[in-house]
Amino acid sequence: MQGPDALALETLLVERDEHTVTLTLNRPEKLNSLSRQLLSELYEVLRALERDPIQRPRALVLTGAGEKAFAAGADIEEMTTLSVSEAYAFSALGMSVMDTMEHCSFPIVAAVRGFALGGGCELALAADFVIAAENAVFGQPEVKLGLLPGFGGTQRLARRVGVAKARQLIYSGETVKAAEAKALGLVAEVVPKADLLTRARAVASRIAANAPLAVAAAKRTINEGLDLNLRAGSELESRAFAGLFASEDAKQGLEAFLAKRGAASFTGR
C-alpha cells in the first residue's frame, strides 16, 4: 500500500509529529492558489493517509505557506483556459477534495493566516473547524469574476453561517475579517499571527491524545446527523455510543478513570 511519503509532491509539504500531521499548501509565490496539481496532490495525500493504518494521523493541521495567504482562491490563470466540460471536471476535483476532508476518519484543523478567498474559503469550510490568525480574511468573491463558488461554497457556507448571511456574502462578494468570521461561526478561534501554528498544533495534539475510534465516531455522527431530524440523529448517536463499548480503548478509558491512574493510553483498537 502506497503511503503519503511515497508520493512525489511539488505543491504540498508533509510534516509528522507523533500522532499528528501538518499539511502545508506550498505555492506561496501564487498565494497558495488551488491549481489542478495542488488539488490532485491534496486528494492523493488525504486518501493515502486514510488508507494506511500505520501512517493515518489522529488529527491533521492544514495551513498555507508564507504570511499572505492560506489560499487566495482557485488558480485564475488556469481557469481562463477552461471549457465548460473542463470547468465541470475542475469543480468535480475540488468537490472530491472537500468531500474527502469531511469524511476521513481524522479531524482536520484549518490554520488560516491571510487570505482565505474563493476556493481557499471553501477549503477552510471543509475542515472540521478553523483557527484563524488575526490577519485572516474570508470570502467568496467569485461573482466578481462572473462565476459562483465551485467547490461547495454555496452549500457549506450556508450551513456554517446561516442562509441569509451566506446569501449576502456570496451575492455581494464581500469579505470578512477574522473577528467577524468568528462572530458568524465560520471560525472557532482567533489568535495572534505569530501563535497560529503553535496553537493549531496544540489543539491537534490534544485531539490526538483521545481515543481515535471515539473521535472518528464523533466526527462521523456529527456529519451524518446534520442531514437528519433530531430523532433520527439521536438514534444514530445511540448506535455509535453503544458500538464503542466493543473497543479496547473504551475498556482502558473507563478502567483508568475508575482506578484514578490518569489518562489512558489509547491504541485505536
> Range of 131's domain?
4-208
- Rounded distance, CA 45 to CA 97, Å? 10
Please give the pLDDT value at position 3: 59
CA end-to-end distance (rounded Å), the chain: 21
Catalytic amino acids?
Answer: 122, 142
Average the pLDDT over 22-47 and give the result. 97
Q: At which of 191, 208, 225 does a domain end? A: 208
Whether 202 maps to a domain, the answer reads yes
Are both 126 and 140 inside the same structural domain? yes
AA letter at 51: R
**Same domain for 124 and 233:** no
Query: The CATH number of the domain where 242 resides is what?
Result: 1.10.12.10
Q: 54 with 108, same domain?
A: yes
Residues 102 and 42 in one domain: yes
The total number of residues shown for the chain amounts to: 269
* Helices and strands, counts by H and E, the chain: 11, 10
Q: Which of 208, 233, 249 is the last residue of a domain?
A: 208
C-alpha cell at 207: 485531539
- Check: CB of residue 143 under 8 Å from CB of residue 167: no
234 in the same domain as 173 = no
94-130 pLDDT, tens digit per residue, is 999 999 999 999 999 999 999 999 999 999 999 999 9
